[in-house]
Structure 1
Amino acid sequence: MEYKENLLSYEDYRTLRESVGWHLFSKNQMQQALDNSLYTIVAVENNQSVGMGRLIGDGMYFLIVDVVVHPVFQKCGIGTNIMNMLLKYVEKKTPTGGRSSVQLVAEKGKEPFYEKLGFKTIPNEFCGSGMRKVIHK
């Protein structure tokens, strides 16, 4: 498995979202979202993109979005590796003496995965649960 930083393409983004049944936005919206990402990860196996994650934010508040692993490749540690890389990026960008708030919205039923990574659940009626982790340095 190879993990590539900041090389998530529109085609891979679209295909991975479709693989888990997520709704698509317009091509222009998706490309703009990719262009405006702070940091992206794509997991590649045999020249096929099988997982991804994106980070957006302003330097104090970060939002992890679009963490997807193709169903055929789930339960192999790919999602954990992607999350660890996203969190390591935030830690690297958090200045000494500072702190960063990292948030995400978990799909319903996926909360335990994120809790294992140190996120706390913030109940939310809208969809799944909001999750938050604070990184101190």
Structure 2
Amino acid sequence: MTFLENALHYDDYFHLRQSVNWDNFSEQQTVFALSHTLYAITVKSEQETIAMGRLIGDGLYYTIVDVIVNPAFQGQGIGSAVIHKLLNYVEKNTPPGGRSSVSLIAEKGKEAFYETLGFKKIPHEFCGSGMRKVIHKKN
């Protein structure tokens, strides 16, 4: 498996969302959004893109979006590795003495996965749960 930084392309994005039965956005919207992604991780197995995750944010607040592992590759720690890489980016870019807030919306039934990674629930009636993690960087 190969982890690539900032190499997420429309076709990979489209097919990964399809693999988990998520609705896709228009190509124009998606290309615009991908071009404004702060940081992205793409995972390849040989030539096939099997996972992704994106980070959007402004340096104080970050949101993790589009974390998908193709169902054929789930249960192998790939999703956890993607999240760790996204969180490492936040930690690396949080200055000494600073803190950053990282949030995401978990699919229903996936909340426990994110809790094992240090996220706390923020219940919401329309989806699984909002999840939040605060990264404090010591001097």
Partner residue in 1 for 2:61: 61
Which runs of at least 4 in structure 1 moved beyond 6 Å after TM superposition? Answer: none
Distance 1:27 1:127 in 2: 25
* d(CA) in 1 for partners of 2:13, 2:74: 17
Q: Secondary structure of the equivalent of 1:25?
A: coil
| Residue aligning to 1:106 | 106
After TM superposition, the score normalised by the length of structure 2 is 0.98
1:79-105 Cα distance to aligned partner (Å, 9 max, x none): 000000000000001010100000000
* SS of equivalent to 2:55: strand
Describe the SS at the equivalent of 2:54: strand
Q: CA–CA distance in 1 between the matches of 2:93 and 2:126?
A: 30
Unaligned runs of 5+ in 2: none
Q: Which amino acid letter does the alignment assign opposite residue 111 of structure 1?
A: E
The corresponding residue for 1:121 is 121
Residues matched between the structures, number:
137
| Cα distance in 2 for residues equivalent to 1:24 and 1:8 | 15
In the TM superposition, 1:14-29 aligns within 5 A as 14-29=14-29
The root-mean-square deviation of aligned C-alpha atoms, in Å, is 0.4
Structure 1 unpaired stretches of 5+: none
Whole-Å separation in 2 of the counterparts to 1:23 and 1:57: 23
Q: Does 1:46 align with 2:46?
A: yes
